[in-house]
Each structure stands twice: as C-alpha cells, then as structure tokens.
Amino acid sequence: MNDPADLERRVDHALHGLETPRAPLTLLPRVMAAVHARTSLPWYRREWRLWPLGWQLASGVASAVLLVLALSRWPSLELTPGLLRNTGALDGATELTNRVDLALAAVQVLWRVVVEPVVPVLFALTMLTCAACMALGLTLNYIALGRTWQR
Amino acid sequence: MSAGAPGGVTDAEPFEAFVRAHQDLVFATAMRLLGRQADAEDVSQDVFLKAFERFDAIGRSPSAAGWLRTVTRNACLNHLSRHRARWRLFSELPGTEELEDVDTYVPTLAGEAPSAFADVEDQQAQLDEALLRLPDAYRVPLVLYHFENASYQEIADMLGVSLGKVKTDIHRGRDALRKYLTDERPR
C-alpha cells in the first residue's frame, strides 16, 4: 500500500487510463488566423529568418561588408590622420577625424574646468549623507524601535 | 520556399490538415504540463506557428509528432519559467524531510475527500481534475515522467533542479493523487 514502487505503478496505470484532452474547437481557427496574419505581412516586416532567401543572402552580404569596412577603418581613425592626408585619397575621412578630435578636446576641457573641481565635494557630500542616514537609522533602532531588527 | 512565403494561401490547406491531425497531441501535452486551458491554447498556437515556419521540413516527416511533442514541452517549460511567480514553488517548497506530509502542501486536494465515485468515468474525471489542480512543482515533473517518458535525471536537467528534488516532488504528486486511484477509493 505504501510501497513507492507500487504507488508509481498504480499512478502510472491510472494516468494512462485517462482520456487525452481534446483540443478546443477554437484552436484550429485561431491558429489559421495567426498564420494568415503572418503570411499577409510584407516580407520586410517579418522576422529576418522568414525573409525570402535572396533578401536574407543580400542582407547577410551587406552586413558582412559593413563589418569588414568598419573593422578595417577603425585603426585609421585613431592612428593615421597624417597618413590619410598624405595619400590625399580620403580627405572626407580626414576631416571627420579632425572634427572628432576637436570635439573630444572640447569635452576634455569642459571636464577639467567644470566637473573635476566639484567631484571631491560631491563625493564628500555623498559620504556624509550616507553616514548621517546610517546614524539616524541606528539611533531610531536603539531608542524608538527597541533594536527590533537585530532580533 | 517555406510555408511562410507570401503565397501562403496554397500552403494553408495542407497546413490546416496538419494542424487538424496534430492539434489534440499538442494541446494535450500543453494542457497537462500547464494545467490551464487558456495557457495551453496560447502555447499550442505558438507551437503551430513554429511548425508553419518549418512546414517544408516537417510537414510530411514521420517524426513530425515527435518534433511537435518536444517543441510543445520546451515551450511549456519556457512559459512556466517566464511566469516566475508561479514557478517559484520549486525553490520555495521545503526539503525531503517533510516528504510524508504531502497534504500540507496540497491543501486543496487534501481537503476534499472524493465522494463515492459514481462510476469509472466519474472517477477518471476526478483524477484528471486533481492532476490539473496539482501545484506546478508537482504536476510538471509528474507529467514529464508518466506522459513524456522522461527519466528522473532528464527531468532534473530540464527543470534545473536537483535529482532528489525531482524524486521528492514526483512522490508528493503521486501521493496527492493516491486517493483518486480506483483501488484506494472508499467501498
């Protein structure tokens, strides 16, 4: 009666004797409506894996080209504005690099002049506020709440 | 081209026949694992949409039923794990030391002694209902074991819990169903 193996056998037998739940009549129309909604979408509004094969290939190739371009150009943006200028082949890229350099320099100046002087003050204020909160909490716990949170 | 092509009208007919042929299998698997009809319908629809996307490959495959069963099972487990509030039962239930006290954890089942069963059909209906009303933590491993023929270790892997936990939960589930078994009912 209490033998687990016997219980397992009897439960298994009883469960397999149950009638299989039948799908409700609404399931088929619901699935077909969802399928219709999906197929009626233009291809570019579906998930990528449902795009036509040609477009999948084209988008894959385009992504690969973009990636290769980005990777091959990245070092030149950092290191070789002078080189690019010498070759004269990529004037647009050189100009872009110069502008980025200028913007970065401006950000650095702003940081040094405006933000850096107040950082220590802000840090000290934050630490003081935290310490004050902790002291208040401990005092409340000790006086008003009777140290309930330590129980 | 796949069944998801814009010219889906011609593809829809064989797919409709496919759904008609397998809807009971998918729904039954989802219903037993999820225990709620609305959830089972949602998951069944998702499974058939996945099948539609791969209809060229699985439409006439002899393993379509197995594929559907596996996808349904995984979809149900994903569905349950997404609803963490319900699934938290797995981590919150006590350990094996309280194994014998199953009624503590299944109060709704334990509180209702099944009335004298009018007939076998009535008894089976009560057992079916009791199975669906089991907490997820008991029902899911129980269903995986008895209906999906998964081993204890496979269930532990699927649910991400220990082997001991699986054995305990399955035993508790069986214990909760004990009173609905034919040879346990009052005579």
Which domains does chain B possess?
8-82 (1.10.1740.10), 92-184 (1.10.10.10)
Q: What is the largest CA-CA distance in chain B?
A: 63
pLDDT at A100: 87
Across the A/B interface, how many CB contacts are shorter than 8 Å?
Answer: 108
Within 8 A of B127 by CB-CB distance, chain A residues are 14-15, 18
State the average pLDDT for chain A. 80
Q: How far is B160 from chain A (nearest CA, A)?
A: 23
- Sequence-distant (6+) residues with CB within 8 A of B42 are B79
| Cβ contact, residue pair A28, B16, below 8 Å | yes
Q: How far is A63 from chain B (nearest CA, A)?
A: 23
Rg (CA), chain A: 35
**How many C-beta atoms surround the C-beta of residue B130 within 10 A?**
21
Can you tell me the mean pLDDT for A73-87?
Answer: 55
Q: Count Cβ atoms within 10 A of the Cβ of residue A88 and give its class: 0-12 exposed, 13-18 middle, 19 or more buried.
A: exposed
pLDDT at B99: 39
Spans of chain B, pLDDT less than 70: 1-11, 84-118, 120, 182-187
Q: How far is A65 from chain B (nearest CA, A)?
A: 26
pLDDT at B131: 92
- Sequence-distant (6+) residues with CB within 8 A of B25 are B65, B68, B69
**Residue whose structure tokens are 């979408």:** A41
CA–CA separation, B74 and A64 (whole Å): 33
Which of A34-43, A87-96, A142-151, B129-138 has the lowest average pLDDT?
A: A142-151
pLDDT at B1: 40
Within 8 A of B1 by CB-CB distance, chain A residues are 52-53
Q: Which two tokens stand for residue A53?
A: 């094969």
pLDDT at A148: 47
Within 8 A of B174 by CB-CB distance, chain A residues are 4, 7-8, 11
- Which residue type does B3 have? A
Residue A84, pLDDT > 60, answer: no
Pick the residue of B53, B119, B170 with the most A CBs within 10 A to test the interface with A by mutation: B53
pTM, two decimal places: 0.60
Confidence of residue A129 (pLDDT cuts 50, 70, 90): very high
Helices (H) and strands (E) in chain A, counts: 6, 0
Which of A33-37, A118-122, A144-148, B147-151 has the lowest average pLDDT?
A: A144-148
pLDDT at B118: 58
Span A9-38, pLDDT tens digits: 999 999 988 888 999 999 999 999 999 988
Going by C-alpha positions, the residue among A20, A4, A17 that lies closest to residue B180 is: A17
Rg (CA), chain B: 19
CA–CA separation, B153 and A63 (whole Å): 43
Confidence of residue A96 (pLDDT cuts 50, 70, 90): confident
Confidence of residue A76 (pLDDT cuts 50, 70, 90): low
Within 8 A of A4 by CB-CB distance, chain B residues are 171, 174
Residue A86, pLDDT > 70, answer: no
Within 8 A of A16 by CB-CB distance, chain B residues are 146
Q: Is B63 strand, coil or helix?
A: coil
Here the ipTM equals 0.72
Q: Is A67 strand, coil or helix?
A: helix
Assess A146–B contact: CB distance below 8 Å, yes or no: no
Assess A110–B contact: CB distance below 8 Å, yes or no: no
Residue A151, pLDDT > 50, answer: no
Can you tell me the mean pLDDT for A129-137?
Answer: 89
